[in-house]
Amino acid sequence: MPNVAVIGAQWGDEGKGKVVDWLASRADVVVRFQGGHNAGHTLVVGEQTYKLSLLPSGLVRGKLGIIGNGVVIDPEALLAEIDRVRAQGLAVGPDTLRIADNAPLILPLHAALDRAREAARGARQIGTTGRGIGPAYEDKVARRAIRIADLAEPDTLADKLDELLLHHNTLLRGLGAETFEKRDLLDRLLALAPQLLPFAEPVWERLDEARRAGRRILFEGAQAVMLDVDHGTYPFVTSSNTVAATAASGAGIGPAAVGFVLGIAKAYCTRVGAGPFPTELSDATGTLLGDRGREFGTVTGRRRRCGWFDAALVRQAVKVGGIQGLALTKLDVLDGLPELKIGVGYRLDGATVRRLPAAPRAQAAAEPVYETMEGWSGSTRGARSWADLPAQAVKYVRRIEELVEAPVTLLSTSPERDDTILMRDPFEG
């Protein structure tokens, strides 16, 4: 049985939490492999709603959760999230959650720098969450990051803080922001150490053992392909690679072990924050999609921008993300619309292309080319088989498959975990 990697195929917020939760019933281990607490997954289980940012969604299913080395971890945010879900009845301890000892930490100075930079950009703001994810990844690449394992070595912490503060306080002063004191940060980290270190281990060893034992591993991505730092709508992207290839490096496992790649896409399209969005709707239909879909970011609380399904964009995500099958979510939001449109390409400089260009001005200038389809009058909400779907809804899904050049292997028809139509179990390969 292969493993499965789940990634977003649009700009995030596609409903990965529900899909990962649903797939976790077939898995033994669930691994987060990139991103930070700027990501958010909402899981609806009966009357209970779980909002997760750092914790792997499989914990809701009672599965072993692993936070890989590719994740940047705000220790205080993680501990607060653990306390919150424990209060909801979830068992989270060192026996159910393991954290890579080489995962880098997000410190208060990272968030301060993130916010100061964004403020300095003025009208050119990227739309970051201000939680320090970008600066933390910068420190990782610059080889000055403080990692989980460093918490066990007070002398190492003290030396690393000297280097960090030399860099960050210089930048903060230049931006007119408040600076940080070494003693305050050191005391803060030493107080957190005994709460975090019991979770820490070289998780690559555990994953290797799980793979050799034939246990099913589910890799859970954050954000989405179009927010990938290399392949997304740069610079309006996140600070990590979000494609499935990152599951290997971000968890410490060979690329062959990643297995089947499942991309998640909404039956329409949304985006939080700034950046190009060719199929965005600023009319009553866009408002309707946002209201029906309850389109507010799990982490930011911001209203999501809404638009028609962009098949050219998802096709691009399929190619660069290595997606082998799609999970299409929120089909029910389109119920009752008399007419639907699908973006099939972009008009740019008098030509029609099927990919978003890399240059920012060209991205902003790209105009969508649409294909129009008849909507359906019946309801898809709660459907659990193809027979439950209106014929026109089936045609819509089939047309999406043709345009993105990937099969829809799973269809979600409501926030409830069991309102799902499975065409192909990803764990069956």
Report the candidate in 130, 192, 195, 188 with the shortest Cα–Cα distance to residue 161. Answer: 188
User: Which member of 21, 37, 41, 74 is catalytic?
Assistant: 41
User: Which pair of structure tokens corresponds to residue 349?
Assistant: 């400089």
Spatial distance between the Cα atoms of 211 and 3, rounded to a whole number of angstroms: 9
Q: Name the DSSP letter for residue 269.
A: E
- CB-CB contact of 57 with 74 (8 Å): no
Torsion angle, alpha carbons of 78, 80, 81, 83, to 10 = 120
Q: Name the DSSP letter for residue 411.
A: E
Our answer to whether residue 13 is catalytic in this structure is: yes
Our answer to whether residue 283 is catalytic in this structure is: no
- CB-CB contact of 178 with 172 (8 Å): yes
Q: Counting runs of H as helices and runs of E as strands, what totals does the chain give?
A: 12, 18
Alpha helices by DSSP H, listed for 95-153, are 108-121, 133-141
Instruction: Report the sign of the C-alpha dihedral through residues 257, 261, 264, 270, in that order.
Output: positive
Instruction: Report the sign of the C-alpha dihedral through residues 407, 11, 277, 235, in that order.
Output: negative
CA atoms within 13 A on the CB side of 83: 7
> Helix, strand, or coil here: 314?
helix
Q: Residues with catalytic annotation?
A: 13, 41
